[in-house]
Amino acid sequence: MRSIDIQEWENRVDGFCLAWSSETGRPNYEALSKLYAPDADVQIYDTLPPIEGFQNFSRMRSTIYPELAAINVCRTGPINFKILCNGNVVVTNYPFHLSYGFADGTGHEIDARISEVWEKRGDTYVIVHEHPSTIYSSPPIRRT
């Protein structure tokens, strides 16, 4: 099994977060399109509806982001790694903070975790699956 170059992966993940961040609400779609596999069957889940997710990056982009006014994504902790398939697949997960607002003035601040499955294609890795999970800070409710 291959080892991980932690600095290389920190740079990759931080670049991913930076590509999503924008003061104008328009993430760097060119950079993001190079980070996501172009396959039509790539499954992407987001912190926003629909719950069934999206079948590819371009569908997610056209569904959610036209009304986006601002977005900021920042990794807030260490990256955990799982190396699979002799280094051809790497699963990452890490905590992040997401802040976004829409043209109608609404917005959200979310602390979350994200899991990403990266597959090596040629000489680079691309995301073939991702799934963020919101971290709720409110105390649990007692059900009676």
Assign residue 34 the CATH number of its domain: 3.10.450.50
Angstrom distances, CA of residue 90 to CA of 3, 34, 37? 11, 17, 14
**Comparing C-alpha atoms, which of 144, 115, 109 is closest to residue 127?**
115
Residue 66 lies inside a defined structural domain of this protein: yes
Q: Tokens representing 24?
A: 């104008």
Residue 33 lies inside a defined structural domain of this protein: yes
- Host H or E run for residue 17: helix 6-20
Contact call for residues 70 and 25 (beta carbons, < 8 A): yes
Residue 122 lies inside a defined structural domain of this protein: yes
Residue 94 lies inside a defined structural domain of this protein: yes
Residue 32: pLDDT over 60: yes
Q: Any idea what DSSP says for residue 76?
A: -
Domain range enclosing 25: 6-134
pTM above 0.85, yes or no: no
pLDDT in tens, 38-67: 877 677 776 666 666 777 666 666 666 667
How many domains, in total, are found in the chain? 1
Residue 144 lies inside a defined structural domain of this protein: no
Residue 142 lies inside a defined structural domain of this protein: no
Q: Is 123 exposed, middle or buried (0-12, 13-18, 19+ CB in 10 A)?
A: exposed
